[in-house]
């Protein structure tokens, strides 16, 4: 059973794990020939902080009743989640290379029926926060102390349902819920500021009744500090706005709109390996 570590997780070990996860992501995407590179790499450190440093869960018993729950509301970052889950032992690493293939347990977007460790199918944006709210309500009724974590994309919060759910999480005082927003500032058609303005973002969540903090989404001390702080907050859900770089870790992908939904070709993959192995 993976209980929460008693010690403060070692940032350098988490950084090394994240580097390996990024290597897995670019390999999976290159082999698959399609998929979402930018948002998988921007979310990598957040997922590593959650699964290796924060959540109570057990890869040998994915349905352990008291486990903390995670919902990848920005389901297109599935490669990052799969890489993290396989590294934790939820399923063999070889399966990563079957991503998006016919008959694979790793669907293009997360599907709980196929993949151990995936709680719920996601991918149609805007739906994960409501689901996480329901899980948090159930956890409260069950009284098992489980916490619920949900990762949102920044383009995703343009969906109206997100704000319905933002209202209800505060209304129901879901202090066992932590949402993380992957604020990489890009979406498929361009910069979020150009496609549909989101700012001021933090004041929006505060106004909706959320305890809101902003962190560097690539800093493990900041991410873990905010996640731990969220556990102490009473009567309110917590929103962690994690400022990230889309395509983080590979210079040619960083901050490039194009790599939202494009997989690395042969040359790009070679370049990515070179940089991530340096």
Partner 1 sequence: MSAKESTRVEYGKALLKLGEENPDIVALDADLSGSTQTKHFAKAFPQRFFNMGVAEQDLLGTAAGLALGGKIPFASTFAMFATGRAWEQIRQSIAYAKLNVKIVASHGGISVGEDGGSHQAVEDLALMRVLPNMVVLVPADGPETRAMARWAANYQGPVYMRTGRMPFPVIFADDHRFELGRGQILREGEDVTLAGIGLLTHHCLEAADLLAREGVSARVLNLSCLKPLDWQLVVDSARRTGALVTAEEHLATGGLGSAVSEVLAEHYPVPLQRIGLRDTFGTSGKAEILLKHYGLMPDDIRKAALKVLPRKNSR
Residue numbers of the site for partner 1 (CB under 8 A)? 65, 69, 111-113, 119-124, 126-127, 129-139, 141-142, 160-161, 164-165, 167-168, 171-172
> Which is nearer to partner 1, 108 or 126 (by Cβ)?
126
> Which is nearer to partner 1, 52 or 70 (by Cβ)?
70
Look-up: residue for tokens 């719920």?
120
Distance of alpha carbon 222 from alpha carbon 220, whole angstroms: 5
> Which is nearer to partner 1, 34 or 142 (by Cβ)?
142
Three-state secondary structure along 198-265? CCCHHHHHHHCCCEEEEEECCCHHHHHHHHHHHHHCCCCCEEEEEECCCCCCCCCCCCCHHHHCCCCC
Give the CA diameter of the chain: 52
> Which is nearer to partner 1, 137 or 233 (by Cβ)?
137
Contact (CB, 8 A) for 17 and 52: yes
Q: Which of 134, 163, 154 is nearest to 214 (CA)?
A: 154
> Which is nearer to partner 1, 144 or 228 (by Cβ)?
144
> Which is nearer to partner 1, 62 or 221 (by Cβ)?
62
Beta pairing class for 69-72 and 186-187: unpaired
Q: What DSSP state is assigned to residue 3? A: P
Which token pair is 114? 């196929």
Residues recorded for the chain: 278
| Residue 137 C-beta: closest distance to partner 1, Å | 6
Angle at 139 between CA 42 and CA 169, to 5 degrees: 60
> Which is nearer to partner 1, 172 or 269 (by Cβ)?
172
| Residue 75 C-beta: closest distance to partner 1, Å | 10
| Residue 84 C-beta: closest distance to partner 1, Å | 20
| Residue 161 C-beta: closest distance to partner 1, Å | 4
| Residue 221 C-beta: closest distance to partner 1, Å | 31
| Residue 124 C-beta: closest distance to partner 1, Å | 4
Contact (CB, 8 A) for 183 and 245: no
| Residue 158 C-beta: closest distance to partner 1, Å | 14
């Amino acid at each position: 059973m993976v209980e929460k570590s008693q010690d403060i997780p070692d940032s350098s070990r988490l950084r090394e794990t994240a580097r390996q996860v990024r290597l897995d992501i670019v390999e999976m995407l290159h082999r698959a020939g399609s998929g979402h590179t930018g948002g998988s790499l921007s979310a990598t450190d957040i997922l590593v902080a959650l699964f290796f440093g924060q959540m109570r869960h057990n890869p040998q018993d994915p349905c352990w009743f008291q486990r903390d729950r995670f919902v990848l509301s920005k389901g297109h970052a599935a490669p990052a989640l799969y890489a993290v889950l396989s590294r934790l032992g939820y399923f063999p690493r070889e399966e990563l290379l079957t991503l998006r293939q016919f008959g694979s347990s790793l669907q293009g977007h997360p599907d709980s029926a196929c993949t151990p460790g995936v709680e719920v199918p996601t991918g149609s944006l805007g739906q994960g926060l409501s689901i996480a709210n329901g899980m948090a309500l159930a956890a409260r009724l069950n009284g098992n102390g489980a916490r619920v974590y949900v990762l949102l994309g920044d383009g995703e919060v343009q969906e109206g349902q997100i704000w319905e759910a933002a209202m209800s999480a505060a209304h129901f005082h879901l202090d066992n819920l932590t949402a993380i927003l992957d604020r990489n500032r890009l979406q498929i058609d361009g910069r979020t500021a150009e496609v549909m303005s989101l700012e001021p973002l933090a004041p929006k969540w505060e106004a909706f009744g959320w305890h809101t903090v902003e962190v560097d989404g690539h800093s493990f001390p900041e991410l873990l500090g905010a996640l731990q702080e969220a556990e102490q907050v009473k009567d309110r859900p917590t929103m962690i706005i994690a400022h990230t770089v889309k395509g983080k870790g590979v210079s040619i992908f960083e901050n490039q709109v194009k790599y939202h939904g494009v997989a690395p070709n042969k040359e790009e993959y070679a370049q990515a390996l070179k940089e991530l192995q340096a």
